[in-house]
Structure 1
Amino acid sequence: MLLSHGGRRSAEQTGAWLAARLAEGGYIVAEVSGQRPRDPATALGEIWRRPAELGQALDLLLNDPDWQMRIDESRVAVAGVALGGTAAMMLAGGMIDEGAYARNCWTAHPSADCDWFATGGIDPASVDPQALTLPRRDERVRAVLAIAPEYLAEFRASSLAERSAPVTIFGLDQPAPGEARLAAQTGIEVLPLQGADLYDLFALCTPGGAKLLEEEGGDPALCGSTAEERGAVHDQLAESALDVLGRALPLPY
């Protein structure tokens, strides 16, 4: 299981809690943090760098003497959260529409990074079109778990209708733009996480987490839910993810 968690400004190992839960379920899990961008300009290409990094990580593992003997190449899965979920879907053959991506910040459903791009004077339309539209399909990937993936409305439905691996979308309490369209046009299963918002997919906060974020100029909403509420979402996601994996890639014992 390759795991890519969080958006452009997430800290490394943000998905450690989910990696641990999947590993407890019997899977080898590699969280691929990737290189985090320094500023909005370097962040613009992360949408296509993420799937490339996941493929490179799989190459490294399958060619590593210590790991290659432990990995069944016929049972490789990818899970991703937010932009990581977008990357995971691209590995199954999903393609982002270049024009739709360029217009995203001027739609009714702008990306959470649009304001950040604007403060840096970056226009998403300046993304490298060749890199963005280069097919990222990886035939080695046999199952995809896309958890609150970004840019659902910007995916070409036709590319996912011909996906190379089963894709399951785990949605939030409020459906994302494009979620219902993709489900209807591609047959992708959408499993809503009851009572969850995006920040509930991150690790549990310390008791003083919200205050610390506010003092450091961060968003205290990142720690807006209680430990019990967030823990319930974690349990729900972990159990559902293991159930989906068990059906897609059943364990050999």
Structure 2
Amino acid sequence: METQRRVVQPVSSRNWQIAKIALQTASLAFCIIVIGLSAGTMWGGDYGVGILTVPVTAATAAWTIAELVTLLVRTRRGGAPGRGIHPGAHVGVQLIIFLAMIYVLFYACMLWRSVQNSIVRCNEWERDPKNPDWVIENYSDVDRHSGFFYTRSFYCPESHRDLVNSKLFQSAAQALIAFCAMLWAIHFTLFVRACVETQRRNRNRPAAVVYPQPVWPAQYGPNYPPTNYPPRAGPGQTPMKSSYYN
């Protein structure tokens, strides 16, 4: 007997295929926006968050483009979307992406907190008369151990003050947080869906199809001499054999 295995690929529903294409298209658009915001307003200087966000979002956009191209190449007849990249690969890549997005989102939130602190200190604290690039707090306290007065200071040159007071910069920081949060939500959803598809794929075991081999007449023994019947061309009933009795 010869056994041949035929694996039936699990196919997602048409509604989910359309939803996945919509999510990945939105992810690609958000990645482009984040790259533009990071490279345009937050690449260098004191708030160089673009050095972190640009590589992560660029890698995310590259994976999304690869998935969309795969779906386009494997389009079925009638315009229905085809199968994308293997769901097992999606599990690993989407896990890395949404974990990286958590780090980027945390860093962007810390950036906004730092901007808010800089706005308060640069606008409300007094300029140090000895060094105009520094600002000092309006009150002083006594150190109990040494008995000296001390003041809190913060480095805030005029260029930094103009930057944090810029409405464009503040809006860019808030938009960066919003788009990073949406990217995290999209890729977390895609990660969960990839886990579901992988589980379904592993649960559907391949079906074994058994094809019997053709049975040919066995060789005649010494007590069964060959007859004058011509050999048959294929499987079928074994022809009757004559025998000699003593």
The TM-score bracket by the shorter chain reads under 0.3
> How does the TM-score come out when normalised to structure 2?
0.26
TM-score (norm 1): 0.25
More contact order relative to length (CA 8 Å, sep ≥ 6): 2
